[in-house]
Amino acid sequence: MIAIRELHGIAEFGQVMDLFEEIWHFDPDSRPITVELMRAMSHAGNYVAGAFDGAGRMVGASVGFFSSRSTLHSHITGATAGHGIGFELKLHQRRWALERGLDRVTWTYDPLVRRNAHFNLAKLGARPQEYLPGFYGVMADAINQGDESDRVLASWPLSAPHVESLVRREPYQRPLPVDAEVALADEDGRPVVCATQARTLLVAVPENIEAMRTVDPGAAKAWRLAVREVLGGLLAEGGQVTAFHGKAFYVVERPSLGTASRSERV
């Protein structure tokens, strides 16, 4: 049984830092949050929450701050693997925001990480709004391993019908248009940009970018640049990401046909 509650004490914030360090193994000079900052944020009424297992051990935590009159920005959320802790944290965050009259939660995530894209889009119903190249600079933690920190800004409309269905754990999936075509393919682990005039586009991401950074950093770099070009370019042109298909592809609807990309191996 997982219990989630807001945090207010220095000792609890220390547990959050220990948990995040266990997950990310941050470089000492690049920690995204500190005990002191969590203390200040909590005191000012922002969102700092922890998830605890039946033995009272912290197994997840989330920190967020108000970014506008109607939006909470979730700065960092981490949880131990399994048991649906991340989903439960998001549900708690949603209830917290709605109780305060907010209608949206935003956060950034690495668009190359498949499981995060699937979780954010397919399980929660968030939608990418903006592609942010090099958002945090070069990151030195164990997961990012010096990769460029491109991020997508995800927006979670808390009361949208599809979100309400998903938080009730009811399946929600838009059918893939029959005329959808691949704009970025995965061929033998390498990204291939494809020429297409289709209105609905599929943008692949690698199966395991975190492992790839270690075993084939050249391929990881190629994926970063290809996704930046294709997904980032489509979002900049006004394209809308409507789903994450087959746990492998972003589904993007572009507003106009535009100019077809050249086909090349990146």
Locate tokens 């209830």: which residue? Answer: 95
Which pLDDT value is given to residue 140?
60
The amino acid sitting at 38 is M
| 3-state DSSP assignment of residue 212 | helix
Which pLDDT value is given to residue 30?
77
**Strands 200-204, 240-245: pairing kind:** unpaired
What distance in Å separates the CA atoms of residue 110 and residue 117, rounded to the nearest whole number? 8
Which pLDDT value is given to residue 265?
40
CATH number 3.10.290.10 is the correct assignment for the domain at 3-167:
no
Q: Which residues contact 167 (CB under 8 A, 6 or more apart)?
A: 91, 94, 124
The residue ranges of every structural domain in the chain are: 3-167, 181-265
- Cα atoms in the Cβ-side hemisphere of radius 13 Å centred on 122: 16
| Residue 226: other Cβ atoms inside 10 A | 26
How would you write the pLDDT of the chain (266 residues) with one tens digit per residue? Answer: 899 999 999 999 999 999 999 998 888 777 899 999 999 999 999 999 999 999 999 999 999 999 988 999 999 999 997 779 999 999 999 999 999 999 999 999 999 999 999 999 999 999 999 999 999 887 665 565 567 899 999 999 999 999 999 999 997 778 898 999 999 999 999 999 999 999 999 999 999 999 999 999 999 999 999 999 999 999 999 999 999 999 999 999 998 654 444 333 43
Which pLDDT value is given to residue 143?
60
| 3-state DSSP assignment of residue 55 | coil
- Phi-psi map region of 50: left, alpha, beta (phi>0 left; psi -120 to 50 alpha): beta
Which pLDDT value is given to residue 266?
39
User: How does DSSP classify residue 121?
Assistant: I
Burial of 150 (0-12, 13-18, 19+ CB in 10 A): buried
Predicted TM-score (pTM) of the model is 0.90
